[in-house]
């Protein structure tokens, strides 16, 4: 059996605020919406950024006022550090969330932030290196990608499992019989 991340369902309080945030800040579009069941008054809304996925997220407005989220965080991969920085900038400009500083996991460059209902979101891109996890160092989001690459190598080159990301993925594909 092969598992590939497909989507996350989040219990929300204010459906329209959440749709607005995910649309305007993160670029998701509503792909479908409808009642939870034939006689249910609860509407579930599905959102996606990919034509290949019916939905990557679904919101169900059933979260109670005192209830905390059942998620630690949801994560979205982007192609470059420039895109991570772009998301961080949009989150800051939107003003509904406090973003974290950048995080260097050795194998990924990330920014974490909360949506309007305090669900934590990570947006990341792969770094050029793999390293055994968990790892967490600060990442200055004002530096260039070349400087981030240099600093990542400097910070993590002595860590267990340090290797080029391409080598790691080649090993990983072999491990799962994909080569």
* Res 155: pLDDT: 95
Query: Residue 4's domain is classified under what CATH number?
Result: 3.10.180.10
Is residue 80 within 8 A of residue 125, CB to CB? The reply is: yes
**Number of domains the chain is built from:** 2
Per-residue pLDDT tens for 128-174? 999 888 888 999 999 999 999 999 999 999 988 899 999 988 887 88
* Calpha distance 129→3 (Å, rounded): 24
Q: Is 0.85 topped by the overall pTM? A: no
Do 179 and 113 share a domain, yes or no? yes
Q: Which residue has the tokens 């290797």?
A: 163
Range in 1-5, 50-54, 72-76, 128-132 with the lowest mean pLDDT: 1-5
* Res 42: pLDDT: 86
* Res 177: pLDDT: 81
The residue range of the domain holding 87 is 71-179
Domain stops at, among 45, 63, 81: 63
Do 108 and 171 share a domain, yes or no? yes
Give the phi and the psi of residue 62 in degrees, each rounded to 5. Answer: -125, 10
Query: Residue 109's domain is classified under what CATH number?
Result: 3.10.180
* Res 49: pLDDT: 86
Do 119 and 152 share a domain, yes or no? yes
Per-residue pLDDT tens for 43-59? 889 898 877 677 889 89
Do 24 and 94 share a domain, yes or no? no
| Token reading at 62 | 């059933």
Do 75 and 156 share a domain, yes or no? yes
Do 135 and 95 share a domain, yes or no? yes
Domain stops at, among 16, 37, 63: 63
Do 3 and 84 share a domain, yes or no? no
């Amino acid at each position: 059996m092969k598992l590939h991340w497909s989507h996350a369902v989040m219990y929300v309080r204010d459906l329209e605020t959440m749709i607005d945030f995910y649309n305007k800040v993160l670029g998701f579009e509503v792909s479908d919406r409808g009642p939870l069941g034939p006689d249910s008054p609860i509407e579930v809304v599905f959102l996606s950024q990919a034509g290949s996925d019916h939905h990557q997220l679904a919101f169900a407005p059933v979260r109670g006022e005192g209830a905390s989220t059942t998620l630690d965080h949801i994560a979205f991969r982007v192609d470059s550090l420039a895109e991570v920085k772009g998301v961080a900038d949009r989150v800051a400009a939107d003003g509904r969330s406090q973003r974290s500083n950048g995080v260097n996991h050795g194998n990924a460059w990330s920014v974490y932030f909360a949506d309007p209902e305090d669900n934590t979101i990570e947006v990341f891109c792969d770094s050029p290196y793999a390293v055994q996890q968990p790892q967490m160092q600060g990442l200055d989001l004002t530096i260039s990608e070349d400087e981030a690459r240099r600093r990542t190598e400097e910070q993590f080159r002595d860590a267990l499992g340090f290797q080029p990301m391409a080598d790691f993925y080649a090993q990983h594909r072999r491990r799962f019989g994909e080569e």
